[in-house]
Structure 1
Amino acid sequence: MNLQGIVAVSGKPGLWKALSQNKTGFILESLDAQKTKLVANLSTAKLAALDEITIFGYDDDIKLTDIFARIKAAQNVPDAKVDGKKLREFFNEVAPDHDEEKVYASDMKKVISWYHLLKDMPFFKEEEAAAEPLVEEVAPVEGEKPAVVKVKKAPVTTAPKAVTKQPAPKAASKPKAVSKPRRAE
């Protein structure tokens, strides 16, 4: 699943797709049927990218993408509106090492509702581009010198930069003529 550019906005329900960026924030489009547009100002809104969200675990945090993959493989995915006990049972199946004291029922409802929103999207069904291995291992042959290991460069990914419009330089203006005050006669 490819969740690049999908964000959750604090204070706004649902999920949003980042369309572009301006100098104050991002232009977002909702993933629901209304396709509502929103300009999220970075100084006032908090954005969380879905591919970077993690769930508290006992040993290590669990990536949300891993939980979505396990939910996709699960047989019976409950609705987000079922009671907390049933959600906890389901969450114990798909993320057995999550920290039950730190992961609340509201968090589980949010994850399940996000899954139901994303499961029919085409980008959710596609696989992420497989990265080439960084190191190619070569087995040594008896009686020969040790093999040289070739290192491949990692693919470079950059986020689009915001285009800011610079104000045009002001033309030099002529100083205004200063009139001398008249003397009273």
Structure 2
Amino acid sequence: MNLRGLVSVTGKPGLFKLIGQNKGGFILESLDAAKVKIVINMSNSKMATLEDITIYGDEEEIRLLDIFETLKTSDIEIPAVKADGTTLRNFFREVAPGHDESRVYSSDIKKVITWYTIIKELPLFNEEAPEPLGEEQA
């Protein structure tokens, strides 16, 4: 799964693809059909790559990519985003066992479902992630 360059921006719905940088900030393009381009200034907005996002766990944090991989390879039925809290929580117990139920809210689960729905159709979803920069091949 190659989700490098896909980001979430605080206060903006959906996901964005990082397409460049200028002196005003980062240039992003929405992943929806509109393909809206925006410039995000890091002094007044927070941006997180999907590769770096983690979910609170009881013992250790759970990577969002691991949850997406579980969804991709399993036959777990994904509930509707508007499902009730119990349905969402039961679903998340299957895909993210060991998550901290007191710190992971229904809104977080809805966000994971929404993001997965957006990216599962992208070609990047089935590509291998490139090696991190600076690591040499043995």
**TM-score when normalising by structure 2:** 0.92
Contact map agreement 1:58 1:98 (CA 8 A) in 2: yes
One-letter amino acid matched to 2:90: E
- Structure 1 residues 25 and 71: CA distance shift in structure 2, 3 A: same
Give the number of the structure whose alpha-carbon radius of gyration is greater. 1
Structure 2 spans left out of the alignment, 5+ residues: none
> How large is the RMSD of aligned CA atoms in angstroms?
1.6
Q: 1:148 maps to what in 2?
A: none
Q: Following superposition of structure 1 onto structure 2, how do residues 48-127 of structure 1 map, counting pairs within 5 Å?
A: 48-75=48-75, 76-127=77-128
Once the two structures are TM-superposed, the CA of residue 154 in structure 1 deviates from its matched residue by 2.4
Q: 1:129 maps to what in 2?
A: 130
Structure 1 spans left out of the alignment, 5+ residues: 132-152, 157-185
Q: 1:17 maps to what in 2?
A: 17
Q: 1:176 maps to what in 2?
A: none
Helix, strand or coil for the counterpart of 2:38?
strand
One-letter amino acid matched to 1:64: L
Contact map agreement 2:55 2:62 (CA 8 A) in 1: yes
**TM-score when normalising by structure 1:** 0.69
CA distance in 2, matches of 1:124, 1:30: 16
Residue 120 of structure 2 corresponds to residue 154 of structure 1: no
Helix, strand or coil for the counterpart of 2:17?
strand
One-letter amino acid matched to 1:31: L
Contact map agreement 2:28 2:37 (CA 8 A) in 1: yes
- Structure 1 runs (4+) deviating above 6 angstroms are none
Helix, strand or coil for the counterpart of 1:99?
coil
Larger relative CO (CA 8 A, sep 6+): 1 or 2? 2
Moved more, 120-129 or 74-83: 74-83
The CA deviation string for residues 94-142 of structure 1, in whole angstroms up to 9 with x for no partner, is 11110000000000000010000000000011121368xxxxxxxxxxx
Tell me the number of residue pairs that the alignment of Structure 1 and Structure 2 aligns.
135
